[in-house]
Structure 1
Amino acid sequence: MLLVTASVRADATAAAAWRAVIDWPGQARWIPLTMVRVRTGHATGLGVRVEAFSGLRVGPLRFGLLDRFVVAGWREPDADGGPGEVEVLHLGPGFTGVGTIQVLSVPGGSIIAVTESFLPPGGAVVAPLVRPLLPLLRAGLSFSLRRLARLLSRELA
């Protein structure tokens, strides 16, 4: 399995950060070149199925990565400062594995931490070829989280 992690501190409360994180279609506001659609009748909680496409569209052609996932774990942040956590199972075809997003309450804001443990298409055979790209993937994840933190700050203003 390959591992990518990143985190960011946000000025927003854990409750506000949580709402932004679990707003699946709204992730397009902070993840570049990404469109996200909920594929189930409900948009929050266990069992939500989501499709996220990251890449370019040229007419009917799409160049990028399709990520289909299902929410497998769900714990909202509590009023006493307990962390929120959503766990997703990535089903492919872009990659498979487990992702978690944690939202922690800290004085003056929150911390949003993301962990992705995954295999690329082709599985363990292809993983060594992808490993040199992990710093780039980590940088992209960090960039997206910084955009989220800025978005949350603007919404506070």
Structure 2
Amino acid sequence: MARFTVVQEVQAPAAEVWAALVDWPRHGRWAPMTTVRTVTDRADGVGAGFTARTGIGPLAFDDPMTVVVWEPPHGDRLGRCEVTKSGRVVHGRAWFSVTPLPGPRCRVVWFEDVTVVPHGLTRFAGPLLSLAGRIGFAATLRALARDVERSPAAPDQAGSA
């Protein structure tokens, strides 16, 4: 398995960062060569589904995901979202948490535990895939932080949890 964790502090309230993270199509702003589309009627909550398409032309692949844990942050309590990945190329799970910190800031933790097809690739190149994932998601979370820190909070995002 390829397993990694990335941590990023964001200078914005946890509710605002959560709202950005669960706006699935918005991930395409931060993740290079990736577009995300919702594939269920509801985009939020357990059972919501979305597909990330990553790559260029014939080298692109779909990464379909279904939300299995949905716990938005509330007050000082952290929020957590977990998805299962059920694609032909990537299987496994991923989750992120958003922890409120003092002042208008929070900490995002992103975790992935995946297998890549062909399975032998993950078995032999697992450490390399984990390193690549950690580097790629670190850049993605830095882009998220820049995006959210520049964006003024919408009234419904700032007050929701």
Contact 2:52–2:63 under 8 Å retained in 1: yes
Counting strand residues as a fraction of each chain, which structure ranks higher?
A: 1
Q: For residue 133 of structure 2, what is the amino acid of its counterpart?
A: L
Match of 2:3 in 1: 3
CA distance in 2, matches of 1:130, 1:88: 23
What residue in structure 1 maps to residue 159 of structure 2? Answer: none
**3-state SS in 2 of match to 1:126:** helix
What is the alpha-carbon distance in structure 2 between the residues aligned to residue 100 and residue 76 of structure 1? 13
Shift of 1:44: 0.4
Give the equivalent residue in structure 1 for 2:88: 93
Listed one character per residue, the Cα deviations across residues 50-73 of structure 1 (whole Å, up to 9, x for unaligned) are 11001123xxxx422320110011
Distance 2:87 2:5 in 1: 19
* Separation in structure 2 between the aligned mates of residue 68 and residue 134 of structure 1, nearest angstrom: 20
Scaled by the length of structure 1, the TM-score of the pair is 0.90
Q: 1:48 deviation in Å?
A: 0.7
Q: Which blocks of at least 5 consecutive residues in structure 2 are unaligned?
A: 154-161
Counterpart of 2:38? 38
- What is the distance in 2 between the residues matched to 1:136 and 1:51? 21
Query: Where do 5+ consecutive residues of structure 1 fail to align?
Result: none
Question: Of 44, 58, 61, which aligns to 1:65?
Answer: 61
Q: Give secondary structure in 1 for the equivalent of 2:123.
A: helix
CA root-mean-square deviation: 1.4
Counterparts of 1:70 and 1:137 in 2: how far apart (Å)? 20
Deviations along 1:84-111, whole A, 9 cap, x unmatched?
0000000011210010010000113011
Aligned residues: 151
Identify the match of residue 151 of structure 1 among 129, 137, 147.
147
TM-score computed with the length of structure 2 as normaliser: 0.88
Partner residue, 1:133: 129
Q: Which has the higher helix share?
A: 2
Distance in structure 1 (CA, Å) of the matches to 2:61 and 2:3: 18
Q: Quick one: distance in 2 between partners of 1:156 and 1:121?
A: 41
Q: Say which SS state the counterpart of residue 93 (structure 1) adopts.
A: coil
1:47 to 2:47 alignment: yes
Matched, 1:105 2:107: no
Does the 8 A contact of 1:46 with 1:74 survive in 2? yes
Do the aligned residues in 2 keep the contact of 1:120 with 1:130 (CA within 8 Å)?
Answer: no
Extract structure 1 runs of 4+ deviating beyond 6 A: none
